[in-house]
Amino acid sequence: MRKNTRWLKAVLAAAAFLFIASAPTLLLAQTPAEFAAERDRAIKLVNAGSFAEAIPLLEKLSTSKEADGQIFLGLGLAYWRMQDTIKDRAAWKQIRLKARTAWLKAKELGASIPEIELTLASIKEDGGDKTQSDNLLAQSSFDEALQPFVARDYKKAVEAYEKAATLDPKWYEAALYTGNTYYAMKEFEKAGIWFAKAIAIDPDRETSYRYWADSLVLSGKEKEAVDKYLDAIVAEPYNSAAWRGLIQFAQRSGIKIAHPKIDIPVNFSTSGKGETNITLGIGDKSDDGSFVWTMYGISRAVWQTDKDGKLSKEFSKAYPKEKVYRHSLAEEMDALHMVLTSLKASKDVKKPTPALVLLKKLNDEGLLEPYVLFVRADAGIKQDYPVYRQNNREKLKRYLTEYVMKNGGN
């Protein structure tokens, strides 16, 4: 495989992104060198902001069965940036849908960027903007609220926001802004009612939980506030804003918050071609159980793609719809369970290390998965969070309450 160290740099929603441009090995009517040259040219066009010129080239490259995720990331970005040149609303929605489709394909191929994930979440299934309303009267009323809100005429602003929320009862932003304006008016009970409405519309966004918690703090309801701060984290744990409310509350209250500290003494890496490197950083004791960490690396090695690019049986069984390997929650849990199984089977362990004791405790309490998702989540594991959250909100909150709020449980 020829390595290309260039980066595809572009701007999306005023943020800068980097796309690694490594050319794949290809078996096409077009030679690998020709494909790589066109790919590099497309990247340069996106770097230069020449999106209209880049689109036909990226569309051509994307039709290849060997097209990688980086091509679809660039194509989605080019579509996205072209939306500002379109005045017809139907056409505007259509090009946003094309961007969404390209980014979803990139994600399927293992290419994902947090900022693009956020942008994806803002696109409606019809190509519209989730932060805006398709109800023109609701949108008009919402827009009218801005000027009085800035001028601190909150009574007038809340009337406009509430009208927008009533005209479009499924619009998260309208309910959120109505609640926020009541908060500014120090009418905390009414604010809570509207924050609850926003949460009912979308329970997987953190803002309404956090704002509601702030209003509860000012109402002297600290226990209820902490509950909502934890809900905010459960909603979006990889969004730093979700942690802001709890961190600030803990600082004001003199509370130390921390995750459990479990150092895994294994350095694991893979080439993606059936080759893995496992380095153990353990001592020579036999009675503290350190040797069982060997099973962590061995277990993870079984999940890797082989030298011919074939997915492992373990990965394919756990994720039958996915065609590209990623480090996953299932793989990490399998590796940690193998460590614990080895520990249990060993007769020589007299005094397990604190890390092993804590690992076993988390597992026995059913909180090892939340620990992994909050503490050990890389880009691959993060993809498993939405599905886990769907059925395990209370378990995630229990971990935060029993460990994070209690100095990591150490």
Domain boundaries, the chain: 7-121, 136-253, 266-409
Per-residue confidence (pLDDT) for residue 407, from 0 to 100? 79
Helix or strand or coil: residue 260? Answer: coil
Asked if 29 and 52 touch (Cβ cutoff 8 Å), the reply is no
State residue 364's pLDDT score: 98
Orientation angle between helical segments 329-345 and 368-375, nearest 10 degrees:
130
Give the residue from 191, 200, 189, 242 showing the smallest Cα distance to 397: 242
Residue ranges in the chain whose pLDDT is less than 70: 1-30, 114, 282-286, 409-410
* Model confidence pLDDT, tens digit, residues 287-305: 888 899 999 999 999 999 9
Task: Count each helix (H run) and each strand (E run) in the chain, helices first.
Answer: 19, 4
* Distance set, CA 304 to CA 24, 112, 279, 330, 385 (Å): 19, 20, 16, 13, 21
Please, where are the H alpha helices in 202-256?
207-218, 222-235, 240-253
Given this model, what pLDDT does residue 210 score? 97
Residue 245 contacts residue 232 (beta carbons within 8 Å): yes
Predicted pLDDT of residue 198: 98
For residues 202 and 208, give the distance between their C-alpha atoms in angstroms, rounded to a whole number. Answer: 9
Q: Which CATH superfamily is domain 136-253 in?
A: Tetratricopeptide repeat domain (1.25.40.10)
Residue 222: the pLDDT is 96
